[in-house]
Amino acid sequence: MKILVVYNPQAAHRRAEKILPEVEAFFSEIGIDTEFRITTHKGNGTEIVRDADFTQYDGIVAAGGDGTLFEFVNGYFRNTSQKRIPLGISTDWHRQRRLSRSQSRCCGLEGSDSCDRSE
């Protein structure tokens, strides 16, 4: 199992920076292979998650405070390697972004693996 950990050392008034070795040791002790990506500036958590290749990991973890979590979520929804299949009644996510609401198109059954109507 391999996990991507997006780690914000600035969290908790920089206390997170001091416990990074403990967090790394925790994952090592339980036998989980981890790749730590340390954030370096505001918005970097979004960039890291947005650009991550989710196929290379079994999971992704946000390690930090509320700001880290918000950046993590924003990056997740901007990442093109994750997919959403519109199954809801109104599918607001797709409608607001002018994405196709066709399940077969979003699953790649119409010659594309994207819900983007421009393809």
Q: Is 53 a catalytic site residue?
A: no
Q: How confident is residue 10, by pLDDT bands cut at 50, 70 and 90?
A: very high
In angstroms, rounded to a whole number, what is the distance separating the alpha carbons of residues 45 and 17? Answer: 15
DSSP state letters, 44-56 = HHHHHHHH--GGG
**Homologous superfamily, domain 2-78:** Probable inorganic polyphosphate/atp-NAD kinase; domain 1 (3.40.50.10330)
Domain ranges in the chain are 2-78, 85-119
Within 10 angstroms of residue 114's Cβ, the number of other Cβ atoms is 15
pLDDT attached to residue 114: 56
Give pTM, 2 decimals: 0.72
> Which of 66, 92, 113, 116 does the annotation list as catalytic?
66
What the block records as the tokens of 60 is 């992704």
pLDDT attached to residue 51: 96
- Which helix (H) or strand (E) covers residue 3, if one does? strand 2-7
**43-61 residue pLDDT tens:** 999 999 999 999 999 999 9
pLDDT attached to residue 119: 46
- Better-predicted residue by pLDDT, 21 or 107: 21
